[in-house]
Amino acid sequence: MLQIPCPWCGPREDAEFDFGGEADIQRPADPDALDDAAWADYLFMRVNRRGVQREQWVHTAGCRRWFVVERDTVTNEILQASTMGRRP
């Protein structure tokens, strides 16, 4: 059981949240300009990091807001959480 520090609500157990995958994946500004390989890269290819990963969570059973968590995917240690839109 993880304890997720929601930036608005504080630490809550992970049953209240849903996982939203890797953070910092931006939708291409002009999708029509992309070839199939570039579009597949955006849609499907992932770093799937073993180590500290920036990832998205949503506080489904709380404030219902999305935010970014830095978590070590090997130890599950959560290093920090921040609001959306702040890129490293």
Partner 1 sequence: MQRYSLPHLIRRGLRGQRGWTRAWRKAAPKPSYDVVIVGGGGHGLATAYYLAKLHGVRNVAVLERGWLGGGNVGRNTAIVRSNYLWDASAHIYEFSLQLWEGLSRELNYNVMFSQRGVLNLGHSAHDMHGLARRVGANKLNGIDAELLSTEQIARLVPILDTSAAARYPILGGTLQRRGGVARHDAVAWGYARAADALGVDIVEGCEVTGIRAAAGRVAALETTRGEIRAGKVGLVVAGNASVLAAMAGLRLPIQSHPLQALVTEPLKPVLDPVVMSSAVHVYVSQTDRGELVLGAGIDAPTSYDLRGSFRVIEHTLAATVELFPIFSRVRMLRQWAGTVDVCPDASPIIGPTPMEGLFVNCGWGTGGFKATPGSGWVFAHTLAHGQPHPLNAPFGLDRFAAGALIDEHGAAAVAH
Backbone angles phi, psi at 43, to 5 degrees: -70, -45
Ranges within 50-69 binding partner 1 (CB under 8 A):
50, 53, 55
CA distance 64 to 16: 10
Choosing from 9, 25, 61, 74, the residue that interacts with partner 1 (CB under 8 A) is 74
Q: Which x/- pattern over 20-49 shows residues binding partner 1 (rule: CB under 8 A)? A: -x--------------xx-xxx-xxxxxxx
Closest CA to 50 of 75, 30, 81: 75
In three-state secondary structure terms, 38 is helix
Choosing from 8, 9, 11, 14, the residue that interacts with partner 1 (CB under 8 A) is 14
Both structure tokens of 29: 């500004």
Residues lying near partner 1 in the complex (CB under 8 A) are found at: 1-2, 14-15, 18-19, 21, 36-37, 39-41, 43-50, 53, 55, 71, 73-76
